[in-house]
Structure 1
Amino acid sequence: MNTSRDLRHHAHHGNPLYTAADAESRLDCLRRAGFDEVEADKVFLAVDLPSIEKIEQKIGALKSLGFENPVKMITSLPAILGYAIDNIRGKLDYAGHFGIDGRGIVERFPPLLGYNLDRIRLCVRLSLPLIDPWEMSLSFLITRDPATSVAAALLSRPETLKALRAAMRLRAGRPGENHDVIARHPGDKLTLAYRRYRPVAPREKAR
């Protein structure tokens, strides 16, 4: 099945200016790397693919970092082809500093590579009171709403990930109460981190 001539004109493709030869060469490169037809088409449609040389370099670099199945990772998150290897290495090194298997976590949850390193650091700080190392590694995934995580941690100082999640559920949907949290803990490192990630709007005056 030759899909390149269709894909190059696809309305959702990042670069509709591919020639048929450009499209086919990039698809062939993905297939040679181990992507099947469906996976290659998915990646082709999802991102503006770099040159063949850069695709090969990125896959090789991921392998050199210890990832056993770059094809699976890229299929899950095609944007990885555009991530800087130094940035990926920095996140893995940071995880290793805490004795966390960053590679294992990323292989199970590739979108983590798209998170800002400062955001990951915030999650690590939140995880430090956690007892179980496995819970500590799971806390890397608590990044969807850092402000809520911070508010929960400040209020409850949870000792387990389960407790933190429970506190987050209680805090979800009630951002206005975060003013009270900040007022009680203005100098706390977590409060300062909170302000960095989500500035708090002024409290509305009572009518």
Structure 2
Amino acid sequence: MAERSEGMRPQVARTLDRRGAMPALVASSAVFAAMLLQNVLHAALATANAAGIGGVTGAGALGPIWQAQLAESFTGALPFALGIFAVLWQIAPIGPELRLAQVVTRALLAAAIGMLVQAALAVLLAILGAATGFPGLFLEAFGGVSTAILDGVIGALHDLVAHAATVVLAAVLLWGWLQRHPRGDGAAGTLDEV
């Protein structure tokens, strides 16, 4: 067993020492910021709609709109961006030597993994909410675990469709920046080692 853990240590060390964390962080942060901006704009439009059409005013009536957007930021946008970061740093980094088709493919892979991370968190929150009796962020008081899981997975798929183009744009912009500012080391991720 000791030999096996010694053999794994260099692989773990190589993974943690892999360069490219900063470009991946910049690209995933840009996607996260774009998603947050969209959430704020959606909440502002919903607030204006509720105040204008329904004549609803007051924090008590408009609070749920902003609470839902805040919850979506932490359970939707954040895990989505973390999945993108992980892919662009460890699995399929963007490098200046890549072709445009490779950059787009890696960006779509990052968006798909981001969606999976978001869906996994939704399932976990639904199960924890049911197990603890605490409704949580997805488990509604009148709904069940299956409804919460389905809502979380569909929300993750919705974010994939809605934000895949944003992820591709961030990756292409990063690729262009890396071409103009070469770092001397090529992109090397798990996908490149296969």
Q: Please report the TM-score for the alignment, with normalisation by the length of structure 2.
A: 0.21
Larger Rg: 1
Select the structure with the greater relative contact order (CA < 8 A; seq sep ≥ 6): 2
Q: Please report the TM-score for the alignment, with normalisation by the length of structure 1.
A: 0.20
- Relative to its length, the structure with more helix (as a share) is 2
